[in-house]
Amino acid sequence: WSFVRIVIIGIFWLLDLAMIMVLVYVFKGIARLNQVEPTPEIDVVAHPVELADEIRSNWQEIKGLVESPHPSSWSFALIRADALLDSALQRKGLEGSDMAERLRVAGPGTIPSIDRVWAAHRMRNAIAHDPRQEFSKESVTHALEAYEMAFRDLGLIATPAPQPEGQINLSSFAQSSPP
């Protein structure tokens, strides 16, 4: 039995030695990871996207959503339009902790179509508070027209050129009713 005992002790000594070597290797690797090498200075040049360009780009996506046959897409379009207007008001420097306060600050002096925007914002709130709430495509389109008018009032979307009589303005969501 003494021979077996010596062999077992030798095996454990070799395992201990191997474990010590592994620990040394791991600690050296950790030490290398903790060494911070100075990084060269990189000049980062920001190319801010113009607010009007951002609005136009997002607005095209929102207009695409309302063309969907799914009412959930229409609701999403309305929520995105509201968020986009809120972002524009913030970036224009209007104070307020939420969209409602910024709309109050803006008032009809900044956004002549403010009453329609308020109606659209209330519709958005109805959807946000009850996602099962569905509105007709016509009412969502009417609300989106209010947001579009607000973007025009703020000078962020160009006012379309008048169309010759008999032609339909395709940039609008819905044809306006005759006078």
Residue 1 pLDDT level (bands cut at 50, 70, 90): confident
pLDDT digits (tens, 9 = 90+) for 87-127: 999 988 999 999 999 999 999 999 999 999 999 999 999 99
- Quote the pLDDT of residue 116: 96
- pTM as predicted: 0.63
Residue 176 contacts residue 168 (beta carbons within 8 Å): no
Q: What is the mean pLDDT of residues 11-36?
A: 89
Sign of the dihedral through C-alpha 47, 49, 51, 52: positive
pLDDT digits (tens, 9 = 90+) for 30-82: 888 777 666 666 555 544 568 888 888 899 999 999 999 999 999 999 999 99
- Among 87, 76, 118, 116, CA closest to 100: 118
Cβ neighbours of residue 81 under 8 Å, at least 6 residues apart?
59, 62, 120, 124, 143, 144, 147
pLDDT digits (tens, 9 = 90+) for 150-167: 999 998 888 765 655 655
Average pLDDT score, the chain: 84
- Quote the pLDDT of residue 168: 47
- Quote the pLDDT of residue 54: 86
